[in-house]
Amino acid sequence: MKIYHNYRCRKSRQTLALIQENGITPEIIEYLNSPISTLELASLLEMLNIKPIQLVRKAEQIWKENFKGKDLSDDEIVNAMVEYPKLIERPIVVEKGKAIIGRPPENVLTLFD
């Protein structure tokens, strides 16, 4: 199991704790320190089965100042998230080719066998 984690985010910390409470030691990817590639983000979107705009944190100042109200293609949105990883909704948990967004943290339970 992998978690794309932001240690400063309460929901991300709660999701990580829930995973660990269930006896799993996930691979922790601190995506703000080790940015996600375009290919990796495209793969996550495919596993999540959502459009790029659905993964954007629209309340972030970066989004409001640079992208809000613009008619952006999916590729442009992906590129924005790669350039500004704070825009990526978190946490994302991946297990066996499936992914979920840990909001609420209990969503992660659907990935357990």
- Would you say 95 and 88 are in contact if contact means Cβ atoms under 8 Å apart? no
Cα(89)–Cα(96) distance, rounded to whole angstroms?
A: 20
At which residue do the structure tokens 């269930």 appear? 22
Tabulate helix, strand, coil % of the chain (nearest 5). 45, 15, 40
The catalytic residue positions are 9
Q: What is the DSSP letter of 87?
A: G
Record the tokens describing residue 68, joined without a space: 């809000």
